[in-house]
């Protein structure tokens, strides 16, 4: 491979077993299943391993074990200090195993190794520290609003949490959910994407090493249609936390609703990146490029619709195209690479199909729109910029989830907001301007859960994260996660002697 990361790459590949199963606690269920699924390396199309798919019966066993551990109180009733110690130790172990974790995500998703290492693995560890600390702020609330009555409101663990994660942020997604769910005392079954389960398997093993009691956490390994469906349908699941696409989200949300299980849905986006003529030009250009192409465009927060004020449009578009063409495409373990492959052949084909749709709909492909042929067997697409004639064509309405920027030109603030909001999604919105008041106005009027001013993707752990409309339901992050993974409980104690209305007394 000819670069210093080559050793990590080969060492990681060599250590991956031929078959990986689900985990019942820490025990691998490789024998339990007959169905096998291949996991591929999108860098070259090679098979990395096989998944011994967790069957519905396997999933049932996992949920029952999770419920039994929950009911036993071994974790749900553990002292806060004990839970904090496990989470803090998990964060430490994640950092100590950062290279392996990053490499496992990288060989299955094509995520650039240096990005997987930082920010992804660092962010994963950070979530465990964050929720360990957050427990300090959790206290029962006392009310004395009613006469002679003490009212105490506490948060109880919710029960068994089913956690579904996508392939684009395997470790970060798993860590956000697991750290909060475990902090609040829940037992969990995690279901990573069948494309990229390896980093999450390692994470579960590290959590047990950190001191998590047996039975509290399990990993269901397999496809959405079989393994995921069994988990989403299970009657003993009390919380469903799903991050993924709109279609799977709809199916899973319906199942959760039918048995009154609370669910968060962190779904897709088609976020507008609005650039006004009075913006800091260079920063806005940098922000537009990284916003469209970070993680090979496979980011829920991607600023995939770039809206440019007409006054600067010609210059900005020319510069954007120039920068797009100069992005260094490289293999995931190439330290110089700025963009790697798509995560799978299917994903690559999806992106390319949108180039065809763009042509059909009269959009102008300014650059890209085709496979990169420099990587035999790899799922590489050239970063693509398309000038869209209007916002209603499919490249402006569908989440492509690839390195595909749809560019639109606007004349004034009102039109920019109207285009930005003309979508069924509502995850994020970006605005770039030197006018603070305009920035606040536009950010407030964008129908999105997240609005960022003069910056590309940023995340504050304390802030709620999630979207409006088809981008999802509810929020995770900060106290929103703590609320989601717990049940509020009210205990009222009366100390007075006020008469009680008595029924059925004869005198």
The H or E element spanning position 239 is strand 239-243
Q: Is 248 in the site for ligand NAD (CB under 6 A)?
A: yes
Pair 68, 24: CB distance under 8 Å = no
The span from the CA of 435 to the CA of 379, in Å, is 42
CB of 302 to ligand NAD, least distance (A): 8
Positions 211 through 240 that interact with ligand NAD (CB under 6 A): 223-225, 228-229, 232
Q: How far apart are the first and last CA of the chain?
A: 95
Whether residue 119 is preceded by a cis peptide bond, meaning omega within 30 degrees of 0, is yes
Q: Which helix (H) or strand (E) holds 116?
A: none
Residues 133-152, mask of contacts with ligand NAD (x by CB under 6 A): --------------------
Does residue number 194 form part of the binding site for ligand NAD (CB under 6 A)?
yes
105 binds ligand NAD (CB under 6 A): no
CA-based nearest residue to 385, from 375, 397, 370, 373: 370
CA distance 265 to 234: 17
- Per-residue binder mask for ligand NAD (CB under 6 A), 256-285, x = binder: ----------xxxx----------------
Size of the site for ligand NAD (CB under 6 A): 31
CB of 195 to ligand NAD, least distance (A): 7
Alpha-carbon distance of 221 to 201, in angstroms, equals 9
- Residue closer to ligand NAD by CB (options 21, 228) is 228
Taking the least distance from each CB to ligand NAD, the nearer of 106 and 243 is: 243
> Restricting to residues 419-448, which ones interact with ligand NAD according to CB under 6 A?
427
Residue 112 to residue 104: CA distance in whole angstroms: 11
Q: Check residue 104 for interaction with ligand NAD (CB under 6 A).
A: no
Kindly report the backbone phi and psi dihedral angles of residue 496, in degrees, each rounded to the nearest multiple of 5, phi listed first: -95, -175
**Judged by CB under 6 A, does residue 291 bind ligand NAD?**
no
Options 52-60, 75-83, 164-172, 362-370: segment touching ligand NAD (CB under 6 A): 164-172
Say whether residue 199 binds ligand NAD (CB under 6 A).
no
Q: Which residue has the tokens 């619709």?
A: 305
Distances (CA, A) of 478 to 100, 129, 464: 28, 12, 6
Contacting residue, 134, 216, 252, 446, with ligand NAD by CB under 6 A: 252
Between 157 and 244, CB nearer to ligand NAD:
244
Output the smallest distance, CB 437 to ligand NAD, in A: 29
Give phi and psi for 260, each to the nearest 5. Answer: 60, 30
Smallest CA-to-CA distance from 91 within 187, 213, 179, 212 is with 179
191 binds ligand NAD (CB under 6 A): yes
DSSP 19-51: EE--EETTEE-TTT-S-EEEEE-TTT--EEEEE
Q: Which of residues 385-414 bind ligand NAD (CB under 6 A)?
A: 399, 401
**With 0-12 CB in 10 A as exposed, 13-18 as middle and 19+ as buried, what is 81?**
exposed
Rounded Cα distance, 154 and 160, in Å: 19
Whole-angstrom Cα distance, residue 16 to residue 296?
25
Q: Are 1 and 333 in contact (CB under 8 A)?
A: yes
Structure tokens at 466: 């999630």
Give yes or no for residue 245 binding ligand NAD (CB under 6 A).
Answer: yes
Q: Does 469 bind ligand NAD (CB under 6 A)?
A: no
Q: Does 129 bind ligand NAD (CB under 6 A)?
A: no
Taking the complex as a whole, the smallest distance from the CB of residue 472 to ligand NAD amounts, in Å, to: 6
Instruction: Candidates 100-108, 109-117, 247-255, 325-333: pick the segment binding ligand NAD (CB under 6 A).
Output: 247-255
Among 20, 125, 169, 385, binds ligand NAD (CB under 6 A): 169
Pick 172 or 274: Cβ nearer ligand NAD: 172
Residues known to be catalytic = 266, 300
- Contacts with ligand NAD by CB under 6 A lie at 164-169, 191-194, 223-225, 228-229, 232, 243-245, 248, 251-252, 266-269, 300, 399, 401, 427, 472
């Amino acid at each position: 491979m000819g670069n210093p990361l080559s050793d990590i790459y080969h060492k990681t590949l060599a250590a991956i077993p031929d078959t990986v199963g689900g985990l019942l606690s820490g025990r691998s269920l490789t024998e339990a299943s007959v169905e096998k699924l291949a996991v591929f390396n999108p860098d070259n199309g090679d098979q990395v391993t096989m998944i011994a798919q967790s069957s519905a019966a396997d999933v049932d066993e996992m949920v029952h074990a999770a419920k039994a551990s929950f009911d036993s109180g071994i974790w749900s009733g553990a002292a806060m200090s004990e839970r904090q110690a496990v989470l803090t130790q998990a964060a430490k172990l994640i950092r100590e195993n950062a290279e392996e974790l990053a490499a496992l995500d990288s060989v299955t998703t094509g995520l650039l190794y240096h990005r997987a290492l930082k920010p992804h693995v660092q962010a994963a560890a950070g979530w465990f520290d964050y929720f360990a600390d957050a427990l300090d702020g959790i206290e029962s609330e006392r009310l004395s609003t009613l006469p002679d009555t003490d009212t105490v409101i506490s948060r109880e663990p919710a029960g068994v949490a089913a956690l579904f994660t996508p392939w684009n942020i395997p470790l970060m997604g798993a860590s956000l959910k697991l750290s909060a769910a475990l902090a609040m005392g829940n037992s969990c079954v995690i279901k990573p994407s069948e494309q990229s389960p390896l980093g999450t398997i390692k994470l579960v093993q590290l959590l047990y090493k950190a001191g998590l009691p047996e039975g509290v956490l399990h990993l269901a390994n397999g496809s959405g249609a079989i393994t995921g469906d069994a988990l989403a349908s299970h009657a003993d699941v009390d919380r469903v936390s799903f991050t993924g696409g709109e279609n799977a989200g709809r199916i899973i949300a319906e199942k959760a609703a039918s048995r009154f299980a609370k669910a968060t849905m962190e779904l897709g986006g088609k976020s507008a990146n609005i650039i006004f003529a009075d913006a800091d030009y260079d920063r806005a250009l940098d922000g537009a490029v990284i916003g469209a192409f970070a993680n090979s465009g496979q980011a829920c927060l991607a600023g995939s619709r770039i809206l440019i004020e007409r006054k600067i449009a010609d210059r900005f578009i020319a510069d954007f195209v120039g920068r797009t063409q100069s992005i260094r495409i490289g293999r995931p373990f190439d330290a110089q690479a700025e963009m790697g492959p798509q995560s799978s052949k299917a994903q690559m084909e999806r992106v390319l199909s949108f180039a065809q749709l763009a042509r059909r709909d009269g959009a102008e492909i300014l650059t890209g729109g085709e496979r990169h042929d420099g990587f035999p067997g790899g799922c590489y697409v050239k970063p693509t910029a398309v000038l869209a004639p209007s916002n209603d064509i499919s490249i402006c309405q569908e989440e492509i989830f690839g390195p595909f920027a749809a560019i639109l030109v606007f004349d004034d603030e009102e039109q920019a907001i109207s285009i930005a909001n003309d979508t069924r999604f509502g995850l994020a919105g970006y605005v770039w301007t030197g006018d603070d008041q305009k920035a606040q106005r536009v950010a407030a009027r964008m129908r999105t859960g997240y609005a960022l001013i003069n910056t590309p993707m940023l995340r504050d752990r304390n802030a709620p994260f999630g979207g409006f409309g088809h981008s999802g339901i509810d929020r995770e992050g900060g106290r929103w996660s703590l609320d989601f993974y717990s049940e509020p409980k009210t205990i009222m104690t009366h100390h007075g002697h006020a008469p009680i209305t008595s029924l059925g007394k004869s005198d």
